[in-house]
Structure 1
Amino acid sequence: MTVKQYDGSAGGWGALLSTTKHLVKSENVSKNIRNLLKTNQDHGFDCPGCAWGENDEKGRFKFCENGAKAVNWEATSRRVTPEFFRQHSVSWLMKQSDYFLEYQGRLSHPVKYNAETDCYEEMTWDDAFALIGQHLNALESPHQAEFYTSGRASNEAAFLYQLFVRQFGTNNFPDCSNMCHEASGVALKQAVGIGKGTVTIDDFEYADAIFVFGQNPGTNHPRMLDTLRQATRRGAAVVSFNTLKERGLERFTNPQSPAEMLTGKGTEISQRYFTPKLGGDMAVVRGMVKALCEYDQQQQSEGRRSIFDQDFIACHTQGVNDYLARVEATSWQDIVEQSGLTEAEIRQAAEVYRQSKNVITTWAMGITQHKHSVNTIQEIVNLQLLFGQIGKPGAGLCPVRGHSNVQGDRTMGIDEKPTEAFLDNLAKVFDFEPPREAGHNTVEAIKAMLAGESKVFIGLGGNFAAASPDTSLTQQALSNCNLTVNIATKLNRSHLITGYDSLILPCLGRTDIDIQKAGPQSVTVEDSFSMVHASAGVVESDTAEMRSEPAIIAGIAAATVGNSLVDWHYLTEDYGRIRDLIAKAIPGFGDFNEKITNPGGFYLGNSAGERRWNTSTNKANFFAHELPVHLLPANLRELSQDPVFVLQTMRSHDQYNTTIYGFEDRYRGISGERKVLFVNAADIAALGMNDGDLVDVESLWPDKVERKIYGFKLVAYDIPEGNIAAYFPETNPLVAIDGKGDLSDTPISKAIPIVLSSSVQADNLIRVKSG
């Protein structure tokens, strides 16, 4: 491991060098260069990485460094064949790193686990489908099966999946949204009547200020940096709030700008950059509103007009008086103590907001993975409502999604709590009665499998065992199952946690050419801005026995529920037939097949963006929440006398969710290691430790279950005292299954109470060296 401060911009030559390195690593260089030129382009494929949208600018590359990693990682020439599984037992594979598992290449054949040999063995597709149907139909209730979905599934695959599962008889749809942006959906539906962002990417061209909360675009959605770069270059103010100082929000060099590349200067992104304490963002926004209210009162006392948009408030909102009373009752002392910022800093942010005509607020998982995330997001909405900053050009709400189609999957019905209107449409179009009771989310699914209540797990993509909270409990839950099925492109940790029967089914990726009976097929995806567009793979390679996700779902469905509802295989012969059904069942998708022929696709629309409020009050709702009394469980002192820190999990720069591309976290200066803790230097000194020491980490939770990880290296970093950051999935064992957000059930991965101790591994090293 090496630690070296990074002084350059995000992007720039470092991004080009990294892209080149991963091109070579793919062992498919010439083809992948052509693939990258087709990424996010018309008549190309949608990047399998993030969900950031595209403008209509022509003649530009439309991939970023981490998008290039995702394409190269997927479009590798390496293959995991039946011979590979004959040579490597599951027990041996369990000892290998997550990086090693995925680096072996693309899964080539369907395989089934043999407990006697401890190896996966090849099987036919027909036998795989028959076995799945046998297990599902043997259940006492459809609710004993869990149907997980990763956000990379296409609209066509997701629609077929939910249709099959609802015909089977359950709404058990745990999915990756439950673990990341569930709080956004809950908060926005209550406040403005739709669980999506209200802006389009074009709105960023008209914003006077962009407030960025709890996100690291430089690593997680780098194409956003070019959008922010263009905004700042025309004079918009970017104000960022993030516990860590992330290089992408400080300075960015666009690799497609010759002037910036040659001079190396880059563009300053954030005019103001604040580092609140973990969980302190709600207090920050409350403080901004309090400062603005004080200014407004002064204005009105001097006979001037209110700074708030009183016409908008009167016409479009409800609850403003209760909210403003709550703001007035909140003391600056509580705001400062909880936020970790000074009153002066909060007033600076408020002043930028006040002077801006059009404001966009954006956020990501730094906001959504706290106990009080729903309240925090509604506090952000309150601020926007006071100034009428929703439903006009250059203004609105922008939750930035992760997976490239996680939003589309929800639109297609991957939802454990579907609306009555959605179910009514399904019933009308397909002439059956779908289940009405709520199904399991991710946390509920884990608990049901742990208790033996759910006996089958089917994963449409993803890496459930690594991505979910409380790793040991999640693995135990999966191993309790009678059947686990993983539909995947590459080998990962989840495939090694086997039930009584376990299958791995290899699927085509976003980059692969998908040929069905009617010829090459395209699928569709929805980005963070509700734009739906076509995606068609371009990679010509040996796909062996891989099948498309729609074809795999059709095979499972036919073997389980038969063809009385629909002819599943007929639908997958031509995906246009699936889109015709989507057009009938889901509002906004009329003329679906025709619309996706348009360059850039089509916009689904947004009711709140049009100032139509589909809430219980038919208005946009202010919420008068109190600030949390405690950001952590109040009884922690009973659990430990040692100093308690707050840990957030996060990605490295060589990572997308649980996929590890390498061991370079360039912008944070880390190379060659992932078991690191980013800690304030003063905290390291107060512990009597040194930068570089090895420590063990234990999380604290009222259930008093021991959750501990070993041998992590301390790295002094610019982070508020009392806060620590580290990579997941290595730190997911510390996330308590019952540590979840109010109303959202999202695991609290950004506020884990922990204590540190000198590492047992370090002690062993010392003893070995001295003896």
Structure 2
Amino acid sequence: MSASQDEEGRTEPRVGPEPQGDPESRPYHHPAAGWGAARSVSRFMVREGVLAEGPRAIMRMNHENGGFDCPGCAWPDDTKGLHLDICENGIKHVSWEMTRKRVGREFFAAHSVTELSGWSDYELENQGRLTGPMVYDPGSDHYVPISWKDAFALVGRTLRELDSPHQASFYTSGRLGNEATFLYQLMARELGTNNLPDCSNMCHEASGRALRASLGTGKGTVDLKDWEAADALFILGVNAASNAPRMLTALAEAHRRGAQIVHINPLVEAAATRTIIPHDFTDMATFHATRTSTLNLQPRIGGDMALLRGMAKAILERSASDPGALDREFIDRHTAGFEEYRALCEATPWEEIEKQSGIGRDGILRAAGVYRAADRSIISWCLGVSQHEHGVDTVREIVNLLLLRGNLGREGAGPSPVRGHSNVQGNRTCGIDHRPSGEFLDRLAAACAIRPPREHGLDTVSTIRAMHDGEVKVFVGMGGNFALAAPDTAYTHEALRTCELTVQVSTKLNRSHLVHGRRALILPCLGRTEKDHQREGVQSTSVEDSMSMVHLSVGMKRPASPHLLSEPAIIAGMARAALPGSATPWEWYIEDYDRIRDTMAQVLDGFEDFNRRVRLPLGFRIKQPARELVFRTHSGRAEFSAAALPDVVPAPGTLALGTMRSHDQWNTTIYSGNDRYRGIKNLRTLVFMNRDDMRERGISKFQPVDITSTAKDGSHRSLAGYLAVPYDIPRGCAAGYMPEMNVLCALCDYSTQSDQPLMKHVKVTIAPAA
């Protein structure tokens, strides 16, 4: 099977022109979105056979009246009723879900698991939608049909036979709606475990812990209206054109009104240059691109914290002659720990800041000057900040910088993490948390008449280790593709194969169905675009975006198969089978999801009067105490932190490698082998390198190389024969695509601050292929 295809169906790899010479000729200076996105989307819909029905569905995306929420990123919906609040990757995600291709019993009868294991991940998902529940038959090495009743019975019997409920772990991806999320955590806790790992454990765990420590909330405080009012936007570790494309609208509008936009990232990505917004028909017709930045800074991988410290140091130094540089009234009234932080900044030498950040003092002072000149500033970040050993300290440093000028609790200012998957924030809000608060458990116990466990459960890394050691025997994956998304691929696969039972709730075939336990189930579910018929009629589900807005999503398409169940129905079926004596009205909940929401309103802070408020135009925003300058911290104030700068300079001969998505990819789903903005055609086995680093190692452009990582425990992992692509990236840094490069990140390489795998800071050596 081919590794992947480009949009024209070609399979030969091609790399675009080496980024050199006139900056405007560099691949990353092609305008983001615009006609390139339109052409890509059209070809994709033709390939998936949805050219007729796809546009109709797309026109219903992200609409508050009878529309469905895009199952892609968590960027908020437009607040002004925009009818084309869409993006290239969102359309591809929906078209991928709406494909006419099907994977039914005939497919599984024709292909064994061993055969399918040799297929590429692209080819697996490209087969189409799953149509009915399947169970693995070890005698024939095939998946064979099973009834829903028997599938639930298998899950229930296996869970009941465990020696302890802690021998099961219940994973959640960010695609799960709020109602299903609530039922899922209720099932796990009624069984008796807090083993609820989720994709946040691998992406924004550091952000939540840092914001909770600094501000008493695990979320950002700003909304889209704040983005529209900010004088300065600082964007750290975000590739918005691919990962949050609708942010491009906010960036373009900010530039047009004269706001300053500073991008901080080791790679200058397409979103940090220019864009043509597809719903701006005049710009599309005239090919007019709007700039999306006023300053680009390229720190070394892991150098963000030092750069932020340098900005704070510059502001503090300036305050000696510029009384307006600091907001002393805000600091004195609302913060704690300022003097300790000021002393730390004063004691940190500029030489160390420059060394660790990889940015010269002049560049840092330019960024600090932008920050000082702005009355209202937002700092936004994504995984380029959080997936590091010191991710918590870096996010707290972001808050430190905001506090210095009182950029909190007022319009146009505050912290704004960019969540990836569509409902990953809602998952955490609605109870997917292996470290739940006592207050949440008390309310859950009172509303649902259960006795939830109080001890902390397993997160993603500890679940993998526990499976590998035989301590977790049942793994349930609610969406996602755990076998590929997790770090240390070989170790993770070994861990899954030790399980007594693995259960995957999915829409499409993926690697996690082939890397399974002794017994395995594939339970196919409805997609977000599809109608969910229950006893009381067509049901809606809710999601929470990355700025705490909660709104309804209603599918509008006929399901891909009559044998699909909704995610809430699948969870309820498993729960009833595993908990035959349960007093929880599982079947009653599924008849009408309003009943689930009524219970959620009793348990979840901020969800009072849930059913009425979620039906308001645009839904409702969960209250944010920190935005009102109410801080649920130990001191009752916003807390400055005073962490020492980490040493992130690679040792001689080594490089810091960050994994990332290509443009034509969403999480582990690969739509094609292209990465348009970086000049790549049908190639994924590559590594982007600094030209001087290549020259030092005797590597010529596009030469095959071997990449070897060294873990904290001294063990090594390797990839062979990758092509070295020269790119504009800081010296000592390299980058390549996940999930292929996840193999290089050892399970023991996780942050001691957040327990996140260090996907953005893998220590590697790169040499010409042997």
- Relative to the length of structure 2, the TM-score reads 0.96
Structure 1 contact 55–202 (Cα < 8 Å) conserved: no
Distance 1:613 1:631, change over 3 A: farther
- The number of aligned residues is 747
**1:33 and 2:55 are equivalent in the alignment:** yes
Q: After the TM superposition, list the runs of 4 or more consecutive aligned residues in structure 1 that deviate by more than 3 angstroms.
A: 629-632
Aligned partner (choices 575, 588, 607) of residue 570 of structure 1: 588
CA distance in 2, matches of 1:431, 1:81: 40
Aligned partner (choices 699, 718, 722) of residue 732 of structure 2: 722
Aligned partner (choices 133, 151, 159) of residue 156 of structure 2: 133
CA distance in 1, matches of 2:732, 2:609: 54
Report the residue type matching 1:654 in the other structure: D
**Which secondary structure state, in structure 1, belongs to the residue aligned with residue 42 of structure 2?**
helix
**1:87 and 2:105 are equivalent in the alignment:** no
Give matches, 1:284-323, under 5 Å.
284-299=307-322, 305-323=323-341
Structure 2 contact 130–509 (Cα < 8 Å) conserved: yes
Give matches, 1:180-579, under 5 Å.
180-299=203-322, 305-562=323-580, 564-579=582-597
Give the structure 2 partner of residue 768 of structure 1.
none
What is the CA-CA distance between 1:702 and the residue it aligns to?
A: 3.5
Unaligned runs of 5+ in 1: 300-304, 638-642, 761-771
**1:742 and 2:752 are equivalent in the alignment:** yes
1:207-264 CA-partner distances (Å, limit 9, x unpaired): 0000001110000010001011111111111001000010111111111222322332
Give the structure 2 partner of residue 672 of structure 1.
682
Structure 2 contact 381–417 (Cα < 8 Å) conserved: yes
CA distance in 1, matches of 2:358, 2:649: 12
Report the residue type matching 2:151 in the other structure: A
Report the residue type matching 1:494 in the other structure: S
**Which secondary structure state, in structure 2, belongs to the residue aligned with residue 121 of structure 1?**
strand
CA distance in 1, matches of 2:153, 2:728: 55
Report the residue type matching 2:59 in the other structure: L
1:600-624 CA-partner distances (Å, limit 9, x unpaired): 1111121111110011111100001
1:292-317 CA-partner distances (Å, limit 9, x unpaired): 11111133xxxxx3421111111110
The CA RMSD measured in Å over matched residues stands at 1.1
What is the CA-CA distance between 1:716 and the residue it aligns to?
A: 0.7
Aligned partner (choices 32, 44, 47) of residue 22 of structure 1: 44
Structure 2 contact 484–668 (Cα < 8 Å) conserved: yes
CA distance in 2, matches of 1:542, 1:269: 40
Task: Please identify, of 536-545 and 155-164, the stretch whose mean Cα deviation from structure 2 is larger.
Answer: 536-545
What is the CA-CA distance between 1:22 and the residue it aligns to?
A: 1.3
What is the CA-CA distance between 1:265 and the residue it aligns to?
A: 3.0
Task: Please identify, of 680-689 and 464-473, the stretch whose mean Cα deviation from structure 2 is larger.
Answer: 680-689
Distance 1:325 1:476, change over 3 A: same
What is the CA-CA distance between 1:541 and the residue it aligns to?
A: 4.4
**Which secondary structure state, in structure 1, belongs to the residue aligned with residue 332 of structure 2?**
helix
What is the CA-CA distance between 1:286 and the residue it aligns to?
A: 0.4
CA distance in 2, matches of 1:618, 1:541: 50
CA distance in 2, matches of 1:562, 1:351: 64
**1:146 and 2:169 are equivalent in the alignment:** yes
Give the structure 2 partner of residue 763 of structure 1.
none
1:98-128 CA-partner distances (Å, limit 9, x unpaired): 1101000011110011111111000000100
Distance 1:293 1:656, change over 3 A: same
Give the structure 2 partner of residue 624 of structure 1.
642
CA distance in 1, matches of 2:448, 2:117: 44
Give the structure 2 partner of residue 172 of structure 1.
195
**Which secondary structure state, in structure 2, belongs to the residue aligned with residue 715 of structure 1?**
strand
- Relative to the length of structure 1, the TM-score reads 0.96
**Which secondary structure state, in structure 1, belongs to the residue aligned with residue 388 of structure 2?**
coil
1:485-505 CA-partner distances (Å, limit 9, x unpaired): 000001111110121100000
Report the residue type matching 1:744 in the other structure: S
Aligned partner (choices 29, 32, 53) of residue 10 of structure 1: 32
Aligned partner (choices 649, 654, 663) of residue 644 of structure 1: 654
1:697-748 CA-partner distances (Å, limit 9, x unpaired): 1101232323111211011111011100100000000001111113210100
CA distance in 2, matches of 1:402, 1:630: 25
Structure 1 contact 373–742 (Cα < 8 Å) conserved: no
Report the residue type matching 1:436 in the other structure: R
CA distance in 1, matches of 2:600, 2:30: 47
**Which secondary structure state, in structure 2, belongs to the residue aligned with residue 485 of structure 1?**
strand
Give matches, 1:98-117, under 5 Å.
98-117=121-140
Give the structure 2 partner of residue 597 of structure 1.
615
1:638-661 CA-partner distances (Å, limit 9, x unpaired): xxxxx2111000000110000101
Distance 1:631 1:162, change over 3 A: farther
Report the residue type matching 1:182 in the other structure: E
Give the structure 1 partner of residue 627 of structure 2.
609
What is the CA-CA distance between 1:549 and the residue it aligns to?
A: 0.2
Report the residue type matching 1:626 in the other structure: A
Report the residue type matching 1:420 in the other structure: G
CA distance in 1, matches of 2:75, 2:110: 41
Structure 1 contact 374–742 (Cα < 8 Å) conserved: no
